[in-house]
Chain A
Amino acid sequence: MTVTTRGKAAGLRRVPQYLALLAYVVFLAFPLLWLLSTALKTPREMALADPTWIPREPTLANFADAFGEQDLVGAATRSLVVALASSVVTVVISLPAAYAMARYRGLVNRIAIGWVLVSQVFPFILIIIPLFMILRDMELVNTLPGLVVVHVTFTLPFALWMLQGYVRAVPAELEEAAAMDGAGRIRTIIGVVAPLLAPGVVATLLFAFISSWNEFLFALVILQDPDVMTLPLTLVRFTGPEGVARLGPLAAASLMATIPSLIFFAIIQRRLKSGLMAGAVKG
């Protein structure tokens, strides 16, 4: 068998793989494309018995309504600030904690891990009133820092779990090797462990960012002033009772709402690579 024939055979074998991949991409992109299509339709076209994919009379009126009626840019800016702050604070707190959880064994550690697990099964709705009272007494109701505190509190347990998994995956032998070379604990963590944790940190940042960006319930009860409201609170204003909604402006506003998280993901995903440690302790 020649090299060319082998290449052709391999190429043919890949066709089903590419088809499967294409189907998966279409599946993932479907909601976004439908959102775009809806955002460009007139109310009349949305009510057609046979829905169209490509609008017959494309219109930007829904975008004009969405931006004209609501302060979407302001709300998106506030959401972005809250999401960035929440994700950074979450990582700053959870990184050393995750290291301690992964590397030190003992009763206190086991209790801490158990507590983190238990906190995950608590229904939010049960604690929302006491939490509101605490924030009110701290004068954090109706403020973005108050919302950041809440988002960090609720993202931390899962972020801790994520990160401690990444820390465990870093072979202890690497730290021992660094110690043999004369590096202290802090230097080992900063110089050896931290770079290897970059994908884990990025994944945690993404998780915390998206959780905060989409969060609705806490924002609803904590933020009351129109000048501090975040994007989810603004989007819901296009909906009426019993699930009835103004679909056009809602689709236009929702489409705009996905853009910042897509940009954030695009910037950060290059760091989201695995395999950094492959072969690190061989030989």
Chain B
Amino acid sequence: MRMKSALAAAAIVALAAGCGSGGGGDKGGSAAGKPGEPVKLNFLSLAWQKESVAANKQIVDEWNKANPTIQVTYVQGSWDNVNDQLVTQFAGGTAPDVIHNDSPALSGFASDGYLLDLSDKLPAELKSDIPQKSWDTVTFDDGKGKQGVYGVPFLQESQVIIANKKLLDAAGVRIPTPDNPWTWDEFSEAAKKMTKGDKFGVAWPMKSPVNKTLNLALNFGGTFFQTVDGKTTVKVGPEEKQVLQRIHDQLYKDQSADPAALGQGTADPLPAFFNGKFAMLPAGVYLRQQVAEQAPKGFEWVTLPPLKGTTSDQGAVSQTLSVAQDSKHPDEALKFISYFLNPTNQAKLAKGDWLLPTSVKAASDPSMTTKENGWDVATASAKNLVVAPFLKVNGFDEWKSKVATPALQEYFANKISIDDVAKKLVDDGNKVLERYQR
């Protein structure tokens, strides 16, 4: 009996030693590629929606069939952990060759020298198909004072309003169009009209309030950060206060916003939305996927274009593909990226993730301009996107988590005044930023 147990234990250990030691000891993200053997690239993708994963796999398969000398391995990662994973793999020199991420994460990796500067390597066709304002979202300092391009931007998100069509029609309000959007005043009036009894006009899920309010603040020219003589500080003046005050007014003055949604994440209020508890939900364009999938039969919904303040500008970040500095095959990696992000493929990827392509040609693809599921309105909103002002602020992440998130949550819970929140964001925020600028 004992002998059997010992043998079983030894067998398990031996099995672990033999089982799938895929590429053990491979010191680079890609295989070196002996003469005659194909170059092997690892592609870390963060796609997670069913359609998006399918589109990614399909494009990789098509590439592998068409390019027998450059074979790409699709590796699926996760948004929540990718930066922990990359920090270790960059430090150990084993990062994947092609890396999917978002532009805020690139800044730190670029200044640490982990990403390849693509400035003079980008094919003209790819470069010209993506507007400069999108390239600006991936242009960062290399840590030595030189600006470089550290990724190819390919998917962006704008904030739209998803509305219950029946309640919208019943209120008799003007339906906004991309050419003639609602102003914030019209939006507030519409929300008031749709508030009746225990039904509200709008819901503001503010569990993570920072990016949403900062991106919308650009409607009134609010940037929240200013850089003078190379020093960045926080500013909360009349422009920055506009959107904050207007949302607060809907909650407590007009009482047209559902207070139950305040502490929720973006998708959490959907059951109440489908139940008619409120009529409008300001959200990122990607939320349309969940609305389309989860809405009860017969529930009619529409996508309304971004609101207009003094402008309709919104801050945006991009999803990106980058090449690791340590990649042994940077040229092949860039060839793959150029193929992966050609207009046809960008349209597929955008459709899979319910986001907006940066490619101008992809945006004119019929699948991006159809009225179905509000694609026409969503795609048209891309013209309003500009670089999020916080994107290039060193210390933004700490300011966001330690200062801005709790301060804005307190403000929207009506525990502090607009002046209090402004003081916190500036005074506490500048202390944080100062540490990053020494």
Specify the chain B residue showing the minimal Cβ separation from A128.
B88
Query: Measured between C-beta atoms, what is the minimum distance from A1 to chain B in Å?
Result: 50
The stretch of A25-33, A114-122, A233-241, A260-268 in contact with B is: A233-241
Whether B124 is near chain A, meaning CB under 8 Å from some CB there, is no
Shortest Cβ distance from residue A265 to the other chain B in the assembled complex, whole angstroms: 17
A87 and chain B: residue at smallest CB distance: B12
B58 interface residue, CB < 8 Å from A? no
Q: Contact between B25 and A141 (Cβ–Cβ < 8 Å)?
A: yes
User: Which of B20, B25, B275 is close to A139, meaning CB atoms less than 8 Å apart?
Assistant: B25
User: B21 near A221 (CB under 8 angstroms)?
Assistant: no
Nearest CB on A from B148, distance (A) = 25
Q: Interface on chain A toward B: helix, strand, loop, or mixed SS? A: helix
| Given known contacts A81-B15, A88-B9, A88-B13, A146 and B79 CB-to-CB distance under 8 angstroms | no
Are A142 and B21 within 8 A (Cβ)?
yes
Contact call B26/A142, Cβ cutoff below 8 A:
yes
Q: Is B16 an interface residue (CB 8 A)?
A: yes
A42-50, A179-187, A251-259 - the one binding chain B: A42-50
**Chain A neighbourhood of B198, CB < 8 A:** none
Which chain B positions have C-beta within 8 A of A132?
88-89, 91-92
Mask for B1-43, Cβ within 8 A of A = 1, else 0? 0000000010011011101111111110100000000000010
- Measured in the bound complex, the distance between the Cα atoms of B88 and A133 in whole Å is 9
CB within 8 Å of B: which of A101-157?
A: 128-129, 132-133, 136, 139-146, 148
B179 touches A (CB below 8 Å): no
With A128-B88, A148-B16, A221-B89 known to touch, is A239 a contact of B78 (CB < 8 Å)? yes
B residues in contact with A82, CB < 8 Å: 16
- Say yes or no: is B366 at the interface (Cβ < 8 Å to chain A): no
* Chain B residues with a Cβ closer than 8 Å to the other chain, count: 55
Of A2-10, A242-250, A272-280, the one touching chain B: A242-250
**Closest residue of B by beta carbon distance from A44:** B294
* The one of B53, B84, B296 that contacts A44, using a Cβ cutoff of 8 Å: B296
* Pair count A-B, CB < 8 A: 152
Contact among A140, A220, A246 for B85, CB-based, below 8 A? A220
Which of B20, B265, B275, B293 lies at the interface centre, i.e. has the most chain A CB atoms within 10 A of its CB? B20
CB contacts (< 8 Å) of B24 on chain A: these are: 139-143, 146
Given contacts A43-B293, A142-B22, A146-B24, contact A244 B89 (CB under 8 A): no
- Contact B84–A226 (Cβ < 8 Å): no
Q: Are A88 and B17 in contact (CB under 8 A)?
A: no
Given A85-B15, A142-B21, A226-B74 in contact, is the A217-B84 Cβ separation under 8 Å?
yes
A88 to B53 CA separation, bound complex (whole angstroms): 37
Are B274 and A49 closer than 8 Å at their CB atoms? yes
Within 8 Å of chain B (Cβ to Cβ): is A224? yes
> Please, how many angstroms separate the alpha-carbon atoms of A82 and B39 in the complex?
31
B274 touches A47 (CB 8 A): yes
Evaluate contact between B265 and A243: CB separation under 8 angstroms: yes
Which chain B residues border A216 with CB–CB below 8 Å? Answer: 81
Determine the chain B residues whose CB is within 8 A of the CB of A49 once the complex forms.
Answer: 271-272, 274-275, 277
Known A43-B294, A69-B50, A143-B24: A220·B84 in contact at CB below 8 Å: yes
Bound-state Cα–Cα, A242 to B80, Å: 7
B23 near A88 with CB under 8 A, answer no
CB contacts under 8 Å to A, within B135-174, are none
Instruction: State whether A239 and B21 are in contact (beta carbons under 8 Å apart), knowing that A48-B271, A81-B16, A85-B16 are contacts in the complex.
Output: no
A210 at interface, CB cutoff 8 A: no
The interface of chain B, by Cβ under 8 A from chain A, is: 9, 12-13, 15-17, 19-27, 29, 42, 48-50, 53, 73-76, 78-81, 84-85, 87-89, 91-94, 96, 208, 265-267, 270-272, 274-275, 277, 290, 293-297
- 9 interchain residue pairs of minimum CB distance: A139-B25, A225-B22, A47-B294, A143-B21, A85-B16, A241-B79, A143-B24, A49-B275, A221-B88
Q: Supply 13 further A-B pairs (C-beta < 8 A) apart from A48-B274, A136-B92, A244-B265.
A: A44-B296, A47-B271, A69-B50, A81-B19, A132-B91, A143-B20, A224-B29, A224-B94, A224-B96, A225-B22, A240-B49, A240-B79, A241-B80
